[in-house]
Structure 1
Amino acid sequence: MRKQLVGWRHWLGSAVAVGLLSGCSSLPRYGNPELPRTELAPPLDYFSVNWWAPLVAPTLLEYAPREVATPAFDARSKTVIAATRDGVIRGVGPDGQVKWSKTTTTRFAAGATVHEGVAFVPGGDGILYALDAATGEQKWQYAAGESLATVPVVSEGLVLVASESDTLFAVKAADGVWAWQYRRDPPSGFTVRGASAPLVRNGNVYVGFSDGYIVSLSMKDGSANWEKSLSGAGNEFLDVDTTPAMDEHGQLYVASYKNGIYALSGDTGDVVWTNAVSGMTSLLARGQMLFVVGDGRVDAYLAEDGRLLWSHRLGERAGFTPVFAKGMLLVPNQRSLLFLDPKTGQSRVAWNPGAGVSAAPFVAGSQLFVLSNNGCLYSLDFNGLKG
């Protein structure tokens, strides 16, 4: 069995949120739910809300709702694709109105990706859906038979998506025909909930697994170039769930939940350096810095040698997948969305649109699309540190 992400056990930790809202479809407790609240003056220069749309109606006795699927955006039709905990895929127009919807049988573990007007949606029901992003019309579907857990990656005519059962599937983007797959046996003990999304570079695929391995595969046929264990012996919490990152020199960055952060040679898998900080589940590379998020902390490291630059403590909360937008680091952390200064780790804004944020926002230029835990989709006009 798979264990819930360790940090989620601490969701009751005190919120640093600034927008208090019992539900986005109900009367807000503190005036306009679209604007953040702070202990001092609201920092309205950072962002404003263009529109917000309630997508999921609250259900009786629902406890701690959580939306984990990142929204996607189709620039052609100006449509946001949202996959929510009620098992519904929705296309939301630029006015915040739902244009189309498709119902599946269970909740989603990851959001869609849009490529050339097609939304590829990884279903918790084990089906990869290919939908017209503008209309919702189904083009094809592929039955993987395993709950899909990562945002699909489209490259070289293939769609790559990983399952909760440690299988990476590759299917043809044009028609959904199976191309190849690579599978590892999960360990017998507890694992961290989540999966590593694949990274494609120069004809190779890099992806991590819950047994503590990261592998390099041929994009052509899924054969292994090399396999590297990062977590050593044992059978619990060995996961390499971070999506790998690679710099311009071919150096690969990834984190093991058990043993910490690694820089590897992309060609051979040889270790360049390591930093033994455990409990990390997400990694983002930006310039010469690595931003790593996990249970109770957000860290910044120097990519050259793994030296710690700063650490922002989250207390009892867990951080989730970060994104970088207009000079700021945005980190969902259960009860709010943190806007951090990437140079110092200082929190500039902590925004809670009601029930917090778990899914990473989607960045589209100066727009952010944020899906809150209570199932409301927000379109933010974002100024970042220029505000």
Structure 2
Amino acid sequence: MKRRAWKQWVAGIGAAGLLGACNSVPLHGNPVSSELRQAPADFFEVGWWTPLVEPTQWEYAPREFASPAVDPESGRVITLTRDGFVRSVAPGGKVEWAFKTGNRFNAGALVHEGIAYVPGGDGFLYALDVRKGELKWKYEAGESLATVPVLAGGRVLVASESDTVFAVERETGKWAWQYRRDPPSGFTIHGVSAPVVKDTTVYVGFADGYLVALDATGGTTKWEKSLAGGATEFLDVDTTPVVDDAGRVYAASYQGGLYALSADTGDVEWTTTVAGITSLLARGEVVFAAGEGRVDAYLGETGRMLWSHNLGERAGRTPVMARGLLLVPNQRALLFMDPKTGHSRLAWNPGEGISAAPTVQGSTAYVLSNNGYLYALRLHGGGG
């Protein structure tokens, strides 16, 4: 991307967003407090909120990692929480139904044509009717599932904590194929790369430091590439790969750094030595990378760093673009960042922090806080 083109891109983002003065809003405890109602109107207002999880005695530092999923037809929000329940929340905030599973969740659901595909921490992939919560089918993977499911033709793909990608038939839940890699002998990082489908290819990372391109039909390997960069421990490619319109796929090894590769061949186009990256977002010709203690922005064409924001001891999780701002959860709060400069404009903490990425539908961001409250934030400003 040329310098002028970069300036035009960020100018458009700036015009669309609301880049007010930097604010920090620590909102702890009961979300009906007056502090919550006084959330900064320049950025958002709380449309509604609802408690989902009953706190348990002696629970310390609760965490919710599953992003909400929204049914585009009905507006229902499907939430997966640490108590093992799947819930459907109506557009006004009322819980319509709940479905109990055998363990907590590590990732959110996929909603498609009225069916919620739920990756269970108990080793089952569930297909639930969004309207009534009735079970359509379930597939026993036998391994804790840890990624948001994706569709590849008539199949559902999901990855486990044990480095296995499962493909099952969308209509019946029957096994179609699976791909597994042996874990490395050294230390690894807790996290799992979700499969990403582009045309007939599935891209996914593994704990042994490899990014692999699979055929979506049968799960055979098209190419594989080590991103370890000579590291012997913490090789994990836990970032969910992103594919841009220029034919590049981006992924990062925890120790090996960020890579841009040809999506067709796996040939490396450029790489960085920045360690600790755990999640990525590509928007236009810019790649945003979040991880241990930082959020960065790079030019997708060359890998040149545009800016870096220091998070201190906090880890940036999956970034989301909304209304001209970059939304990044860092476990303690949800950061509203300027994508042009990386400056934090607002840190919003409704109590116990935010770990799961928000889900944006239109002008509403659905946020699941670590204490198990679901918020509908009405975002202000132009289109993101």
| TM-score normalised per structure 1 | 0.91
Q: Which amino acid aligns with 1:19?
A: P
Q: Is the 8 Å Cα contact of residues 325 and 384 (structure 1) preserved in structure 2?
A: no
Deviation of 1:255 after TM superposition, in Å, equals 0.8
Shift of 1:267: 1.1
Measured in 2, the distance between the counterparts of 1:211 and 1:340 equals 33
Distance 2:195 2:322 in 1: 22
1:359 is aligned to 356
Query: What count of residue pairs does the alignment treat as equivalent?
Result: 362
Judge conservation of contact 1:34–1:353 (CA < 8 Å) in 2: no
* Equivalent in 240, 243, 249 of residue 240 of structure 2: 243
In the TM superposition, residue 347 of structure 1 has moved relative to its aligned partner by: 1.1
Give the aligned partner of residue 293 of structure 2. Answer: 296
Which of the residues 150, 160, 165 maps onto 2:157? Answer: 160
Residue 56, structure 1, aligned to residue 50, structure 2 = no
Q: Where does the alignment leave 5 or more consecutive residues of structure 2 unmatched?
A: 1-22
Alignment of 1:111-260 (within 5 A): 111-233=108-230, 235-260=232-257
Indicate whether 1:307 and 2:304 are aligned: yes
Identity of aligned residues (%): 63
Whole-angstrom distance in 2 between the partners of 1:64 and 1:226 = 41
SS in 2 for 1:33: helix
Aligned-partner Cα distance in 1 for 2:61–2:213: 38
1-side partners of 2:382 and 2:315: how far apart? 25
- Tell me the distance in 2 between the aligned counterparts of 1:59 and 1:287: 44
1:22 paired with 2:29, answer yes
Change in 2 beyond 3 A, CA 1:67/1:35:
farther
Equivalent residues of 1:19, 1:35 under 8 A apart: no
Please say if residues 46 and 385 of structure 1, whose CA atoms lie closer than 8 Å, have aligned partners that are also in contact: no
Among candidates 322, 325, 340, match of residue 325 of structure 1: 322
Query: TM-score, normalised to structure 2's length?
Result: 0.92
**Residue identity opposite 1:129 in structure 2:** Y
Return the offset for 1:234. Answer: 5.1
Per the alignment, residue 16 of structure 2 pairs with none
- SS of equivalent residue, structure 2 residue 25: coil
Pairing of 1:91-130 with structure 2 (within 5 A):
91-130=88-127
**1:33 equivalenced with 2:20 (yes/no):** no
How far residue 276 of structure 1 moved from its aligned partner, in angstroms, is 0.7
1:2-17 alignment to 2 at 5 Å? 17=24
Q: In structure 2, give the amino acid aligned to 1:130.
A: A
In 2: Cα distance, 1:133 partner to 1:348 partner: 36
Q: Deviations over 1:114-168 (max 9, x none)?
A: 0111100100001001001121111110010000000000121111100000000
Matching residue's letter, 1:189: G
- Distance in 1 separating the partners of 2:57 and 2:266: 50
- Judged with a 3 Å threshold, the aligned counterparts in structure 2 of structure 1 residues 296 and 385 are, in CA distance, closer, same or farther, namely farther
Which amino acid is the alignment partner of residue 116 of structure 1? E
Mapped to 2, the partners of 1:35 and 1:88 lie a distance apart of: 31
Shift of 1:34: 4.2
Q: Secondary structure at the match of 1:18?
A: strand
**Letter in structure 1 aligned against 2:197:** V
Distance 1:254 1:125 in 2: 28
For residues 254 and 188 of structure 1, the distance between their equivalents in structure 2, rounded to whole angstroms, comes to 22
1:374 aligns with 2:371: yes
Distance apart, 1:236 and its partner CA: 2.2
Shift of 1:46: 1.2
Q: Which residue of 2 aligns with 1:5?
A: none
**Which ranges of structure 1 fall in alignment gaps of 5 or more residues?**
1-15, 37-42
Cα distance change on mapping 1:336 and 1:50 into 2, 3 Å: same
Q: Structure 2 CA distance, aligned partners of 1:386 and 1:346? A: 20
Residue by residue over 1:223-250, the C-alpha shift from the partner in whole angstroms, topping out at 9 and shown as x without a partner, is 0001111104554211001111111121
Quote the Cα distance in structure 2 between the aligned partners of 1:116 and 1:301.
Answer: 36
CA distance in 2, matches of 1:250, 1:310: 24
Instruction: Say yes or no: does 1:77 pair with 2:74.
Output: yes
How far did 1:105 drift?
1.4
Task: State the secondary structure of the residue aligned to 2:335.
Answer: strand
Instruction: Return the offset for 1:188.
Output: 2.0
Which residue identity lines up with residue 256 of structure 1 in the other structure? S
Structure 1 Cα separation of the partners of residues 60 and 119 of structure 2: 25
Q: What is the root-mean-square deviation of aligned Cα atoms in Å?
A: 1.5
Moved over 3 A (4+): 232-235, 384-387
Does 242-251 or 231-240 show the bigger shift?
231-240
